[in-house]
Each structure stands twice: as structure tokens, then as C-alpha cells.
Amino acid sequence: MNTIASILTAIVAIEHLYILYIEMFAWETIGKRIFKGALPENLFAQTRGLAANQGLYNGFLAAGLLWTFHINDPQWAFNIRLFFLGCVIVAALYGACKSSKSILLKQGLPAILAMIAVLFSKL
């Protein structure tokens, strides 16, 4: 179960690195394609700074999750991993309520599965 927990955690981290990339560096290209219909096309240029800020926060989530792979104390790594997965889940719940319900599926579900695997790895 430890391996599954690690793989799922890595997937969540990689997903958030990809979101960082889109929101910080490709907002007006890939972001425009992905979020087509969510914003009028003319607002992508005007919201570039806001998107970059969101991307930075996604990067912090990814960094926290990746950090857990380098913590030598298993209990400390477990606690930090749960904390950052919990942050992702809360962000996905908020995004589902305020933006798009699909966020819960796309970002929340992988984090929920990872958290379940991490919790079961302690049994």
C-alpha cells in the first residue's frame, strides 16, 4: 500500500505542477483552450496576473507533496503528506462550490484517493 500511496501522491504533485505551468506561463494559450467558456476570451490577457498567482499557490501544494518524499522520519513524512493532501482537497471543494463542479473530480478525487492510500499505508 505504501507504493500505491507514493504513486498517487506523486500524481497529485505532478498535476499541480502542470496547473502551475498553465496558470503562470501558458494562461493565454493552453489556459485559454482549457478554460474556454469559463471566461470571455478578452479577459485572459487582463487576468494573467491573477492566474499566475493561483499557479504559484498550486506550485506550493506540489512542493509540499514532493517534499514528503525527502523526509527521513516516516511519521513526519506521513503528517506532512496528509496536511498537503488535505489542502488540495479543501481547495478542490472550494473550487467546486465557487467555480466548476468538475474541479472536485479532476483535482479532488486524485487527492482523496491518495489520502485514503496514505491512511491505509499506516495500518
Residue-wise pLDDT tens digits, 53-111: 999 999 999 999 999 999 999 999 999 999 999 999 999 999 999 988 999 999 999 99
Three cell numbers at 109? 478525487
Q: What band does 36 get if pLDDT is binned at 50, 70 and 90? A: confident
Side chain identity at residue 116, one-letter code? I
**Cα gap 4→69, rounded to integer Å:** 13
pTM for this structure?
A: 0.95
In 3D, which of 109, 119, 118, 116 has the Cα closest to residue 88?
Answer: 109
Q: In 3-state terms, what secondary structure has residue 102?
A: helix
Q: According to the model, what pLDDT value does residue 42 have? A: 93
Tens-place pLDDT, residues 95-107: 999 988 999 999 9
Q: According to the model, what pLDDT value does residue 1 have? A: 82
37 backbone φψ class: left, alpha, beta (φ>0; ψ -120 to 50): left
**Cα gap 72→34, rounded to integer Å:** 38
